[in-house]
Amino acid sequence: MIQRFPVPDILKEVSTVFHTAGFSVYLVGGAVRDFLLQKEASDWDIATDARPADVMKLFRRTIPTGIEHGTVTIIYKKKHIECTTFRTEADYSDGRHPTAVAYTASIEEDLSRRDFTMNAIAISLPDGAVIDPFGGREDIRQKCIKTVGNPIDRFLEDGLRPVRAVRFAAQLSFTIDDSTLQAIPQTLHITQKISIERFREEFTKMLICEVPLPGLRLLESTGLLTLFIPELAECRGVEQGVYHHFDVLDHSFLVCNACPAGVDNLHIRLAGLFHDIGKPAVRKEAADGSCTFYLHEAVSEKLTRTIMRRLKYSNSEIEKTAHLVAQHMFHYEPAWTDAAVRRFIVRVGKENISDLFALRYADVFGLTGSYGEPSFLAEFTARIDAILQADGAYSIKDLAVNGNDLIAAGIPAGRILGLILHDLLETVLDDPAQNTREQLLRIAAALYERIKRFQ
């Protein structure tokens, strides 16, 4: 078991500043855990007995990022280092968030208020000695998530911790220790009170990790899903007929999991999770046992917006996700004309096509749990690529004329000008060869003449 940590030079230099002023300092939290897991640390957290005001005096560049919790960010050689003064547990009073901060002088006491044993290991700086009072290294070796101390007490102190346990289980491929797991359903009344932003942060970290599926299943089995996204929990047991191997909830979990990982793909993962959430509302079963879900995508889109607004996702994240959900049922036939393919590109938006196809591939996988026969998707992709390469007009912006050109040609600004531009786009979608300035001005003039006659 590792006894000493190879301290990077930058942390040695930072620790010298603390020591010279008579303070102690430790590396803590995720960076220590990630090092033991031989993973790249995403950020550095350090803990010290220096008070925030002292830390701000010791370093030239600091930001009081969480001063009310004793946290100051030190910027040192372009690195951001979160520095938190040793704290005790006294600060959680309502299970929602810390109310007041109680400082302490000992690293052991500070470690004892941390959530899980794997997150309660400190590295003394600059020498790299490991301080591990709760057996965190052994739990990491066993891939086990265990609270520091009694899980029910710890979850009653802060209802976010159960959500973090589930997030870490997915992110690290760890299991949650039995008594910690059993404490989650017993403390839901406290978890229910956490701010929705805190839930969303952990939920998002879980969704974008390589394999979120175990986390999604844990959210359901612990009751957390019913608490935060009851619309999704209601998809359990909604059967889909002979072509589907799974009910709507298992299907949604599988699709979400099969979508691409990473923070830039969050909207695709969310769309994977919510694309069929409208199905329970529109399900119709025939006498032969087959099911239909007509226009479920419209209901799914609406619910996606409702849920994501409740979870306080940004408007742009909501729009991107809702658009994919609304469009996920697209179909294609080889007999389609190029104009039909162009109209599809316009409807979906050039920039969204690869995301929509990623979702659809995942959706196909979620039918049976395998990709099966090559579907129409490959041929459709090739058609779209060929058309995108050959011609370029897919929005009014891409036309060879703009509104000012039409005004200069004698068409007054206003609603009619807008209608004419739309008509020009339709013309170009049918035949891209029409997209020349001369040709479009001629068509526009003819359209305007006709409209004037009807006015």
Stretch that binds Mg ion, among 12-20, 23-31, 71-79, 202-210 (CB under 5 A): 23-31
If binding means CB under 6 A, how many residues of this protein chain bind ligand ATP?
A: 12
CB of 249 to ligand ATP, least distance (A): 27
Nearer to ligand ATP, 154 or 360 (CB): 154
CB of 9 to ligand ATP, least distance (A): 22
Stretch that binds ligand ATP, among 158-166, 220-228, 340-348, 371-379 (CB under 6 A): 158-166
CB of 208 to Mg ion, least distance (A): 15
The binder of ligand ATP chosen from 91, 110, 115, 301 (CB under 6 A):
115
Report CA-CA distances (Å) from 371 to 124, 245, 306, 377: 50, 13, 31, 12
Nearer to ligand ATP, 62 or 117 (CB): 117
Residue 252 touches which of Mg ion, ligand ATP, none (Cβ within 5-8 Å per kind): none
Nearer to ligand ATP, 42 or 370 (CB): 42
In the complex, residue closest to ligand ATP by CB: 30
Stretch that binds ligand ATP, among 113-121, 206-214, 321-329, 367-375 (CB under 6 A): 113-121
Going by C-beta distance under 8 Å and a sequence separation of 6 or more, which residues neighbour residue 450? none
CB of 229 to ligand ATP, least distance (A): 21
Nearer to ligand ATP, 43 or 431 (CB): 43
Nearer to ligand ATP, 215 or 366 (CB): 215
Residue 193-222 contact track with ligand ATP, rule CB under 6 A, x = bound: ------------x-----------------
Do β-strands 71-76 and 144-145 pair in parallel, antiparallel, or remain unpaired?
unpaired
Under rule CB under 6 A, residue 360 binds ligand ATP? no
If binding means CB under 5 A, how many residues of this protein chain bind Mg ion?
A: 1
Nearer to ligand ATP, 174 or 293 (CB): 174
CB of 212 to ligand ATP, least distance (A): 14
The binder of ligand ATP chosen from 36, 46, 114, 240 (CB under 6 A):
114
3-state secondary structure string, the chain? CCCECCCCHHHHHHHHHHHHCCCCEEEECHHHHHHHCCCCCCCEEEEECCCHHHHHHHCCCEEEEEHHHCEEEEEECCEEEEEEECECHHHECCECCECCCCECCCHHHHHHCCCEHHHCCEEECCCCEEECCCCHHHHHHCCEECECCCHHHHHHHECCHHHHHHHHHHHHCCEECHHHHHHHHHCHHHHCCCCHHHHHHHHHHHHCCCCCHHHHHHHHHHCHHHHHCHHHHCCCCCCCCCCCCCCHHHHHHHHHHHCCCCHHHHHHHHHHHHCCCCHHHHCEECCCCCEECCCHHHHHHHHHHHHHHHCCCCHHHHHHHHHHHHHCCCCCCCCCCHHHHHHHHHHHCHHHHHHHHHHHHHHHHHHHCCCCCCCHHHHHHHHHHHHHHHCCCCCHHHCCCCHHHHHHCCCCCCHHHHHHHHHHHHHHHHCHHHCCHHHHHHHHHHHHHHHHHHC
Nearer to ligand ATP, 161 or 217 (CB): 161
Residue 20-59 contact track with ligand ATP, rule CB under 6 A, x = bound: ---------xx-----------xx-x--------------
Nearer to ligand ATP, 155 or 365 (CB): 155
Question: Rounded to whole angstroms, how far apart are CA atoms 386 and 363?
Answer: 24
CA-atom Rg of the chain in angstroms: 28
Stretch that binds Mg ion, among 25-33, 70-78, 301-309, 371-379 (CB under 5 A): 25-33
Nearer to ligand ATP, 204 or 435 (CB): 204
Question: Rounded to whole angstroms, how far apart are CA atoms 113 and 111?
Answer: 5
The binder of Mg ion chosen from 8, 17, 30, 336 (CB under 5 A):
30
Which spans of this chain sit near Mg ion (rule: CB under 5 A)? Answer: 30
Which spans of this chain sit near ligand ATP (rule: CB under 6 A)? Answer: 29-30, 42-43, 45, 114-115, 119, 158, 160-161, 205
